[in-house]
Structure 1
């Protein structure tokens, strides 16, 4: 159940170009969060909260790790917060990934940019359930790459950059042909990437997580709706998502 909680900043650091990793401490959030959910954070001086995906959870230390890019004034201000400060948070918010109880299956994770973080906690959770993990991660440049070693610890990992400055050059869909057979995929990233991924893997079962600006974050304001495959139907990303079956919504 989503609650309003105060979270204390335990650590914060830049881990890539304009990318911040922040570890937040809160008992309720850390014990209830599942892969794919997000925190809706109130940044001082800003009216609207910022939705930030959960990148990792440590239930023993009661912490949640978030990663975010400094793209606007809100995230720039959030990046200035120091260790020991507190943040007003709503969460854990949204519906997470469907994990399935099919150990020994092979799972493909496909992430782009700031869509990569939620896939790490997912991959770690699935690996603990004895599933084989393959990751394809896309970034703009070599300076934007993060968490490569963490994903490699889970299984085979491909890195793709737009400019070819690190790993393979191109888009995540350009290396999907190199991936061995898999049973299911999970993807998170910009909509154009998700469109390309779902088109390339239309015959495979999968789930996608949508990145979207939000208003209320609880499904009341209709600021983050997406059409479904049902004629005239809509889903609220903040409440019904951010995770959907790949065939459920129209991108």
Structure 2
């Protein structure tokens, strides 16, 4: 589970959004979209806790993964300083990913992402397309400067962009686009801010899956820093039982 990866490339793809490609031995793993890695910030004790970052692309042929993150705190800003050739200490694979076996070939899935919740949905859409599922994507951002992966998603299916300030795409939120689409979707997959997930969880008429964003301490269920309430009673750890949950399973 503890791996020493090597940085292949790092690039800034939007305002404070970075894409880091890592070379890592994937022979031992079967990764699922929605899983994440826990990245050690540095060798010093300045940043004790690792940072959880979603896997946005998986390349088994070249033994590479891509992680995409927002550099907003001191820890992630430090990760953004990684350069090609640097060693990167990661724990992986962590978390419960999306169950793509729930979508059958010939069905139509709508994929809904908000902000930094967009990255894990790219690998999800790729894998759904590979098994014959039609995908429509709705991506929400604060502003034009925050938009990323638009062209990549467009290569996989119809893609719509919403910005809160109206500087790009549709002014408003992902739900403003969703209510004007006439398609009859068979399933939905979503990742983003809790307020967005709550609306989707309560309003989407079909079955679906949501992925929660949460600060994590250990990443493997020991510290209880990322506990959420289940609708049926009891608690779940987002780092191990999630971050992906079925619609209606958790209290939002």
TM-score, normalization: structure 1? 0.96
Aligned residue in 1 for 2:197: 194
Aligned residue in 1 for 2:104: 102
User: Do 2:16 and 2:71's aligned partners in 1 also have CA atoms closer than 8 Å?
Assistant: yes
CA offsets, 1:162-196, max 9 Å, x none?
00100000011111122211100000001011111
User: Cα 1:123–1:194, aligned 2, differ >3 Å: closer, same or farther?
Assistant: same
Q: Number of matched residues?
A: 247
Aligned residue in 1 for 2:34: 36
- SS of 2:26's equivalent in the other structure is helix
The equivalences for 1:1-251 within 5 A come to 3-28=1-26, 31-44=29-42, 45-100=46-101, 102-179=104-181, 180-201=183-204, 203-231=205-233, 233-251=234-252
TM-score, normalization: structure 2? 0.96
* Runs of 5+ unmatched residues, structure 2: none
4+ residue runs of structure 1 moved beyond 6 angstroms?
Answer: none
User: Do 2:26 and 2:64's aligned partners in 1 also have CA atoms closer than 8 Å?
Assistant: no
Considering only aligned residues, what root-mean-square deviation do their CA atoms show, in Å?
1.1
User: Do 1:21 and 1:66's aligned partners in 2 also have CA atoms closer than 8 Å?
Assistant: yes
- Deviation of 1:82 (Å): 0.6
- Deviation of 1:6 (Å): 0.4
| Range with bigger deviation, 169-178 or 124-133 | 169-178
CA distance in 2, matches of 1:148, 1:137: 8
- Deviation of 1:29 (Å): 7.3
User: Cα 1:122–1:37, aligned 2, differ >3 Å: closer, same or farther?
Assistant: same
- SS of 1:109's equivalent in the other structure is strand
CA distance in 2, matches of 1:40, 1:29: 19
CA distance in 2, matches of 1:208, 1:30: 27
- Deviation of 1:116 (Å): 0.2
* Runs of 5+ unmatched residues, structure 1: none
- Deviation of 1:27 (Å): 1.4
CA distance in 1, matches of 2:40, 2:30: 20
CA offsets, 1:137-157, max 9 Å, x none?
000110100000000001001
CA distance in 2, matches of 1:19, 1:140: 13
